[in-house]
Structure 1
Amino acid sequence: MEKILLSLVLWSILATSFGYGQIASKAPLGTLYRWKQIDYEYPSAQARQQAINNRQFIQANVIPLGVERWKDRVFISTPRWKSGTPATLSTVPIGASTESPLLKPYPNWDWHNAVNCTGFTSVFRMSIDHCGVMWVLDSGQVDAFEAPRQLCPPTLYAINVETDTVLGSYPIPAEFVLQNSLITNLVVDSRDARCRDLHVYIADAWRFGLIVFRLADAAFWRFSHYSFYPEPLLSNYTLHGLNYQWSDGLFGMSLGKVQQGDRSLYYHSMSSSLEFVVKTSVIRDPARVSNSVGEFALLGDSRGANGQVSAAAIDRNGVMFFNLISRDSIGCWDTRKPYTTQNLVVVAQNNETMIFPNDLRLDHEVPQMGWIITNRLPMYQFNLIDPNAFNYRVMFLNPAAAVQNSLCQPEILKSPDNQGVLLVSN
């Protein structure tokens, strides 16, 4: 009951005030915080200035990438893609009084200043299980957009977010990290109420592989499949007049409900317009997966031109939400329905606030909320960020309101008169 009351209080905060604006409680999407440039909570003004003088903090080089939420905090990753990123995992409170709160390094500054691979190197994304353990994916690489250096092995960390205690670190064995691997995203699969039967699925976007971690014995294994590759034509992007090429393979992953002891893993390459599915019973068995090529299936229709998707997640009602990175949009699909263009719906779109929605997570609260990072990543990569504009946002999504009266609403099985905006029209 205490957890439900806390969630309702937080929802009331989200529904009414965000420090710099008012949002109606029925709004499907809103901005929690926004930044022109990222800043950190230093021990003192003198410590901050010293970091700037030593070029340990170069504000223009810091970009938020991953997002998660647990109770009254939002967790944000800032990978060390360029020099001058002083901390790579931080928190902000849900109810800050400013539109651009300072990031508080998590769990403390020591974890970001450690040497000999005893702390964080460059965190990409995080995924929190329902027991309150945050699984943190650290790439181990710095200066990826300047002069890449692999300082430490890619590592999976487990952190108890109730006590802010690091429970363990699990370096990915070298045999599963290929030359030029980009191990960039993860999703946690737990069937047990106490999170004992837990696996983590980790995507390698540049070497087109899926790495599986099993908590019970801390084992890893890796496999590849042709559906993990990018589509050549979808590797060419145009966003707000900027043309660029990315050949990113397997990236977005989301988990369906447990049914008869199994569940589906939906996945896609970033540079692709296709969605695939495989039963997790296949990938959770290292002996089976190598001989199960035919069990990886194409879902249905292509998302069409500019149909590239970064992250995706499925809510408690079985609705998938996904970031359309070339359309400044968020789409949805009811997983009970065929994956056809008629059933893919845009639930939010904004050419200013949603430029490159990068990460998307659904929390464990009641009511459940979605969390999105938008970060203008292509502009950041090519040094085109305007420091006088709001470039980075943490946004929230109300899943129930977002799909109301659309084909993504689970109750609607036939096309209504008001079916929302189709993702791809015939």
Structure 2
Amino acid sequence: MTVVHIYLLVLFWAPVIYGEIQASGPPLEDIKQWNVLTYNLPWDAPTNNKDFYNPVSVVATGIAVDYERIFIATPRLFSGVPATVSTVPRKIAGDSSVLQAYPDWSFHTAGQRAYNCSELGLVSVYRMRIDSCNRLWALDAGVSRSLEDFEVTCPPKILVFDLNTDQVVRRIDFPPEVIRGETLFTNMVIDETTSQPSNNCDDVFVYITDTVEPAIVVYDSGRDLTWRLSHPAMFPDPNFAQSNILGHRFTLMDGIVGITFDATLGVVYFQPLATDRLFSVKTSALRAGPLPFGAELQIRLVGKKSSQGIGLALSPRDGSIFFSPFSETAIAEWNPNTNKQKVVSYDKERLQFVADLSAPAQDPGAIYVLSSRFHRFFLRNVNTNDINTRILRIGGAMNSPQQQHLPGNILAPGYTGQAYTIGNTNLFPTSPPSPLLYKTEITHAPFSPRPITDIKSTFVDNFFNSIRQPYQYEPVGVINKAIKNPFTALNTGETPEIYLKTHQPTYTAFQKTSQSFGSLQQPILSQTYGLLDNQNFLTKVNPSFSDFNSIRRAKSIAFNSTALH
């Protein structure tokens, strides 16, 4: 007899007072705010040329916090972005600082469409990270006007800057084996868990998100090797293509973009933009290299949020995940080890479209928030009289007393009760919070050969029947790995054609007619997605070639090595 263990995640909840969300965390501090972003432009800059500088085309997507400066990434989503990485002073709070191009204007000639890919420069940076060696890693997507004509200006790369000298100490070029036709590198995390101090952070692993051609690209800087790993969970879900922020609806089919890293447990959490789900993968699986043909990357469905989102951050103190659902205009905290949850901050004006969350080591315990109102820029209805871009700080957000974060053991010390077992992982059971505001999700690990409808849980049934549901709740069954859910294989080759089936499929995206007369089954006209064995799924041209995961061929170590200085 197969025993199916399940656990319950309530990924976003809060006390409700007259329909409003009540936050229970420290206050939001305004660090910087702008109606539109302005630059300290060179004296000879063509300021009257909208293709060089157009204030309503400059959208901030990422931040990195140093001791004295805050770095801001403004990718070339549209024409009219003069510089893609800039700085503002950190210690002057609440002002609208003029952006200083980093490290200087010679790195940003792509704004004038005069760029040599062999030179040191930056085309379009979505996000940056600072390592423990005080170096800034700038991830250059190499794509200009990604929301207009998607010009691949240069191959993607990473430039590593020594923040003590503001000089480039390393350039990392990505080989064609890990690049696809519309590759767009948008985010990354740096894994220093096995790095040796004597190597000056040149032996780290970097996990990079490819948003348009969804995948995680792994860079082993110690061996100068790169490989690509993809999984259907990294793709967008068409059911969540449209987002809604205070009545402004916009459609954006972005794949994996949000990513954060738990160094203690060795887990990477990630989320596509167009989904309400959060996933995780072990760093050991990412570090293992390209997948053999036929192998599948071991991805875990962590839980379900109330709406779409991008920004993710993780507390090094206890492993709590900070995230920001778009529609709720809030910052929430959830500890996957203890299931403790709370709304840290809620603000309808200041938390519209949180593009990035940062937990800098330079300001322990604080969360920095970048809200950009990207949706208004995207819809071309931005009001330049409003404050549209903000850098906010939540001081002490990570200092609240919570369950201790224990390496390799996420049960409370001395706990003698029974935990739910998920594969080889124990989960500390806690009582669900009440009242419940947002949706819940049931997930599993072991697969059961029984039909999903036959799996019952008294705990789950009692929970759903006793808790008030202010929003419509759609039950989600225990996931059966033997049956492909429509979500799990989206955008991997299926065609959206309606075809005739003579039996009821286990999952259908939408069912039009279903009739039966006695023992005769009538055809069901249905649209199915992601069923790997269905008639709509397009097979590979060459079944012996794994086009998801390609190995990186080694190239000159000296070319990517750190410069001596």
TM-score (norm 1): 0.83
Equivalent residue, structure 1, for 2:164:
162
- Secondary structure of 1:286's partner? coil
Matched, 1:222 2:219: no
Equivalent residue, structure 2, for 1:106:
102
1:296 to 299, 305, 309: 299
Matched, 1:386 2:392: no
User: 2:279 & 2:250 partners in 1: Cα distance?
Assistant: 25
2:367 to 367, 370, 373: 370
Distance 1:245 1:289, change over 3 A: farther
Tell me, yes or no, if the aligned pair for 1:362 and 1:370 is still in contact at 8 Å.
Answer: yes
User: 1:238 & 1:91 partners in 2: Cα distance?
Assistant: 31
Aligned residue pairs, count: 386
Tell me, yes or no, if the aligned pair for 2:304 and 2:439 is still in contact at 8 Å.
Answer: no
Tell me, yes or no, if the aligned pair for 2:126 and 2:139 is still in contact at 8 Å.
Answer: yes
Q: How does 1:74-153 map to 2 (within 5 A)?
A: 74-96=70-92, 99-113=95-109, 115-117=115-117, 118=119, 119-153=121-155
User: 2:434 & 2:84 partners in 1: Cα distance?
Assistant: 41
User: 2:267 & 2:169 partners in 1: Cα distance?
Assistant: 28
Matched, 1:248 2:254: yes
1:358 to 355, 358, 361: 355
What whole-Å deviation, never above 9, does each CA across 1:225-246 have from its counterpart, x for those lacking one?
A: 1211222212221222222222
Q: How does 1:315-334 map to 2 (within 5 A)?
A: 315-317=315-317, 318-334=319-335
- Secondary structure of 1:324's partner? coil
User: 2:315 & 2:434 partners in 1: Cα distance?
Assistant: 20
Deviation, structure 1 residue 79 = 1.0
Matched, 1:278 2:281: yes
Structure 2 residue ranges without an equivalent (≥5): 1-24, 406-411, 413-427, 441-466, 468-565
User: 1:204 & 1:350 partners in 2: Cα distance?
Assistant: 30
User: 2:393 & 2:182 partners in 1: Cα distance?
Assistant: 34
Tell me, yes or no, if the aligned pair for 1:345 and 1:423 is still in contact at 8 Å.
Answer: no
Deviation, structure 1 residue 54 = 7.1
Tell me, yes or no, if the aligned pair for 2:108 and 2:123 is still in contact at 8 Å.
Answer: yes
Q: CA RMSD in A?
A: 2.8
User: 1:147 & 1:131 partners in 2: Cα distance?
Assistant: 38
Distance 1:245 1:131, change over 3 A: same
Deviation, structure 1 residue 294 = 6.0
Deviation, structure 1 residue 151 = 0.8
- Greater CA drift, 120-129 or 26-35: 26-35
Letter in 2 for 1:336: N
2:53 to 54, 57, 75: 57
What whole-Å deviation, never above 9, does each CA across 1:266-303 have from its counterpart, x for those lacking one?
A: 1122211222222101111214576652622112x422
User: 1:281 & 1:417 partners in 2: Cα distance?
Assistant: 32
Tell me, yes or no, if the aligned pair for 2:30 and 2:94 is still in contact at 8 Å.
Answer: no
User: 2:392 & 2:435 partners in 1: Cα distance?
Assistant: 21
Tell me, yes or no, if the aligned pair for 2:203 and 2:223 is still in contact at 8 Å.
Answer: no
Letter in 2 for 1:57: Y
Q: How does 1:131-210 map to 2 (within 5 A)?
A: 131-191=133-193, 192=195, 194=197, 195-210=201-216
Equivalent residue, structure 2, for 1:19:
none
Equivalent residue, structure 2, for 1:13:
none
What whole-Å deviation, never above 9, does each CA across 1:96-140 have from its counterpart, x for those lacking one?
A: 376100001101111112721221111111111111121111111
- Secondary structure of 2:324's partner? strand
User: 2:294 & 2:135 partners in 1: Cα distance?
Assistant: 33
User: 2:30 & 2:435 partners in 1: Cα distance?
Assistant: 22
- Secondary structure of 1:52's partner? coil
Letter in 1 for 2:281: V
Q: How does 1:17-36 map to 2 (within 5 A)?
A: 27-36=26-35
TM-score (norm 2): 0.63
- Greater CA drift, 276-285 or 113-122: 113-122
Distance 1:97 1:350, change over 3 A: closer
User: 1:91 & 1:403 partners in 2: Cα distance?
Assistant: 28
User: 1:149 & 1:363 partners in 2: Cα distance?
Assistant: 33
Distance 1:288 1:80, change over 3 A: closer
User: 1:59 & 1:358 partners in 2: Cα distance?
Assistant: 18
Deviation, structure 1 residue 162 = 2.1
2:393 to 392, 396, 406: 396
User: 1:420 & 1:214 partners in 2: Cα distance?
Assistant: 46
Deviation, structure 1 residue 384 = 0.8
Distance 1:69 1:193, change over 3 A: farther
Tell me, yes or no, if the aligned pair for 1:40 and 1:105 is still in contact at 8 Å.
Answer: yes
- Secondary structure of 1:379's partner? helix
Distance 1:287 1:205, change over 3 A: closer
Q: Which has the larger radius of gyration?
A: 2
User: 2:304 & 2:274 partners in 1: Cα distance?
Assistant: 12
Tell me, yes or no, if the aligned pair for 1:205 and 1:250 is still in contact at 8 Å.
Answer: yes
What whole-Å deviation, never above 9, does each CA across 1:156-178 have from its counterpart, x for those lacking one?
A: 11111222111122122122221
Tell me, yes or no, if the aligned pair for 1:29 and 1:402 is still in contact at 8 Å.
Answer: no
Tell me, yes or no, if the aligned pair for 1:282 and 1:292 is still in contact at 8 Å.
Answer: no
User: 1:258 & 1:418 partners in 2: Cα distance?
Assistant: 27
Deviation, structure 1 residue 196 = 4.0
Matched, 1:72 2:68: yes
User: 1:367 & 1:205 partners in 2: Cα distance?
Assistant: 30
- Secondary structure of 1:85's partner? coil
Equivalent residue, structure 2, for 1:7:
none
